[in-house]
Structure 1
Amino acid sequence: MIAAIDIADDAWARVADLGSLTERAIQATLAHIGRDKNVEISVLFAGDAEAATMNAQWRGKGYAPNILSFPAPAVHDLPEGEARPLGDLILAAGTVAREAEEQGKTLTSHLTHLIVHGTLHLLGFDHIEDQDASRMEATEIAILKGLGVPDPYNS
């Protein structure tokens, strides 16, 4: 698994071992789903302004979301052994920190949850329909438990 990590906002410096946390969350998600680990995910740790611009451009929404996920288009003719692009995750520093504080969660727990959540989106999970939301939440809870992160829906 390749996690191409770009830290574009200094506010992320408050998260110790951000790269390791990111890789652990992605690897745990891939392992739980039983997905081939020869994938590449790009992760941008942005500021709120940059995330808001992307959210407006790609989703038509004028605010900084906690996370955006953009699945990569299917690639059918990759050379042998080359990592399959899975997609991009973009996280907004201020929004993530504010939500963690408002919800009484540690920043690392909330961030881990969001990375798991976004990775599941890249793998095709969604939460539009109630049954899909229930399935996605149960999957997140199980993955997070393995990472030592409390259930984010019962805190």
Structure 2
Amino acid sequence: MKNYSPIPGVIISFSDSAWQQSLPDCEGLVLQVMEVAIPFIPFDLRGTELSVYLTDDEEIQGLNKDYRGKNKPTNVLSFPQGNVPKGPNGEVHPLGDIAMAYETCLREADHEGIPFKNHFIHLLIHGLLHLLGYDHENEEDAEKMETLEVQILQALHIPNPYLAEES
């Protein structure tokens, strides 16, 4: 049996170099977020893999239109690949894909008056939780998801973004 890392394998790809200019250690940041998030997640993610695709508004608008029927850019999209992981089974299996749009994320961070890096991290966590089956379709589910997001963000020393929205 293979000895799997508790952290999912992460494949990061870029179609917009603005991400690397704004967050030069983007790859390291994604791995750091995963390391901190794992203890908060009630699933065994050993032997899993996810991809993070950092793109622009134009491309994410196309994805949003094709997969959600919404012809507008959005900040983050998650594409789960099957069931929530149950533990290693001898093979690497994908959790899914997270796609993020640079311009929308930057606009939102500027509008909310928060550092771009903090907003990126929040949206990355948000996308990861969607891959694991969390959603915010009703108040109860939204509260569970937001509570978990805030706990992970606090562990990364990032203020609660939902408090900023309320004020």
Q: TM-score, normalised by structure 2?
A: 0.86
21-30 or 113-122, which deviates more? 21-30
In structure 2, distance between residues paired with 1:80 and 1:137: 30
Q: 4+ residue runs of structure 1 moved beyond 4 angstroms?
A: none
| Counterpart check, 1:147 vs 2:156 | yes
Partner of 1:89 in structure 2? 98
Query: What secondary structure is seen at the aligned counterpart in 2 of 1:153?
Result: helix
In structure 1, distance between residues paired with 2:34 and 2:92: 14
Count of residue correspondences:
154
Identity fraction in percent: 39
| Counterpart check, 1:31 vs 2:39 | yes
Pairing partner for 1:122 from 123, 131, 149: 131
5+ residue gaps in structure 2? Answer: 1-7
Partner of 1:9 in structure 2? 16
Pairing partner for 2:62 from 53, 62, 77: 53
In structure 2, distance between residues paired with 1:82 and 1:31: 22
Question: Cα–Cα, structure 1 residues 32 and 75, in superposed 2: closer, same or farther, change >3 Å?
Answer: closer
Query: What secondary structure is seen at the aligned counterpart in 2 of 1:128?
Result: coil
Matches within 5 A, 1:59-78: 59-74=68-83
In structure 1, distance between residues paired with 2:95 and 2:104: 24
Q: Contact between 1:26 and 1:115, CA under 8 Å: does it hold in 2?
A: no
In structure 1, distance between residues paired with 2:34 and 2:81: 16
| Counterpart check, 1:105 vs 2:114 | yes
Q: TM-score, normalised by structure 1?
A: 0.92
